[in-house]
Amino acid sequence: MIIDIVKVFLPAVGAFLLGILITPFLTDFLYSHKMWKKKAGKTALDGNEAKIFNELHKEKEINTPRMGGIIIWFSSALIIIGIWLVSQFFPNDTTLKLDFLSRNQTWLPLATLILGALVGLIDDYLEVKGDRVNGKSGGLSLRKRLMIVSSIALAVAFWFYIKLDVVSIGLPFVNTLNGEELYLGPIFIILFLLTTLFIYAGGVIDGLDGLAGGIFTTMFAAYGGIAFYQQQIDLAAFCATIAGSLLAFLWFNIPPARFYMSETGTMGLTITLTVVAFMTDTLGGGYGLLVLPIIALPLVITVFSNLIQVFSKKFRGKKVFLVAPLHHHFEAIGWPAYKVTMRYWVFSLVCAILGISLALIG
């Protein structure tokens, strides 16, 4: 038990410290190369100018660098791979026990974290460099990003379905022929795809200083606790490592933010969060997917507020919120940005506690 606790918390502390150490170098690079949008302005989902948002954020949009998410995935990957290398070159009881890079628990989420982050990094680079070339906003289009996320999600879904033989999801308090599980068969692949796209859509919560960093920290910490309870210690250590790196990012993202997490952070984190939720479901003998809408409720609310706004404008001809997603609505009605952020943090923590509780008693 003690070695398991150390195995989970040591890399988390290591990722935090490493993130703190590399941030000055990243900051110097981002600011010296002016890695921010050269022209303020954001387009709403309906294709029109997001006037209220642009008015609220017109200064920070062109003065705050993107790509801050590099701290998260780079420090996490370096700690995970670093501990594995130490165990390979200096094998002994301690190093081998501390290694948590395993095929059955952490290869897959680490792969999605890095792959999603690299695609997001390309998007961020094009975003800040695009208007230097042609005077227009750069970045991958929403359609291209959704296609990429869908491709990654389908590849992972088939891996779950074919390689890991996952064909059901946990369903507590209901006894079926498979026990407390709902058999889905091939429908599992569709469910995985839709869940990934939905959680990815919640990544637009990265809109206020410190908001996304605090919420993602809470969500990954929650799943780390669930994985630990399920004795998926490697996966718990993986989640804790990401939480530690997120805390390092948050240290510099507390208002006024030094940089935005942007797509290189949110794409990798949202896809990986989905993978972790499914890994703590039937694979872990639990209900990780069922509690995902609760633990990730801030993301769920973000997505639904966008959908409500779009459909209301399309079919009713008027808006429900002053601006969507919801956290910007609160900002628009007069809440200071720091108040929105801190209240979301509190709300996210409550959701995480509730989600963990339901996952354990289910």
Residue 254 or residue 189, greater confidence: 189
What is the pLDDT at residue 224? 98
> Distance from CA of residue 271 to its chain's centroid?
7
User: What percentage of residues in the chain have a pLDDT greater than 90?
Assistant: 75
- What pLDDT was estimated at residue 133? 47
6-62 confidence digits (pLDDT tens) = 999 999 999 999 999 999 999 999 999 889 877 665 665 555 656 666 666 666 667
Average pLDDT, integer, range 117-138: 78
Residue 77 — very low, low, confident or very high, per pLDDT cuts 50/70/90? very high
- pLDDT-derived band at 318 (thresholds 50, 70, 90) equals confident
Residue 62 confidence (pLDDT) = 72
3 state SS for the chain: CHHHHHHHHHHHHHHHHHHHHHHHHHHHHHHHCCCCCCCCCCECCCCCECHHHHHHHCCHHHCCCCCCCHHHHHHHHHHHHHHHHHHHHCCCHHHHHHCCCCCCCCHHHHHHHHHHHHHHHHHHHHHHHHHHHHCCCCCCCHHHHHHHHHHHHHHHHHHHHHHCCCCEEECCCCCECCECEEECCCHHHHHHHHHHHHHHHHHHHCCCCCHHHHHHHHHHHHHHHHHHHCCCHHHHHHHHHHHHHHHHHHHHHCCCCCCCCCHHHHHHHHHHHHHHHHHCCHHHCCCCCCCHHHHCHHHHHHHHHHHHHHHHHHHCCCCCCCCCCHHHHHHHCCCCHHHHHHHHHHHHHHHHHHHHHHHHHC
From CA 292, how far away is CA 197, in angstroms rounded? 14
Residue % of the chain over a pLDDT of 70: 89
Q: How confident is the model at residue 79 (pLDDT cuts 50, 70, 90)?
A: very high
The pLDDT-based confidence of 226 (bands split at 50, 70, 90) is very high
Strand partners, 43: 49
Share the mean pLDDT of the chain. 90
pLDDT score, position 176: 53
Please say if the pLDDT value at position 135 is more than 50.
no
Can you give the pLDDT at residue 61?
A: 65
Average pLDDT of the residues in 91-110: 94
pLDDT value of position 41 = 57
CA atoms within 13 A on the CB side of 285: 5
The predicted structure's pLDDT at residue 207: 82
Residue 63 has what pLDDT? 80
Instruction: Read off the pLDDT of each residue in 109-114 and give the average, rounded to a whole number.
Output: 98
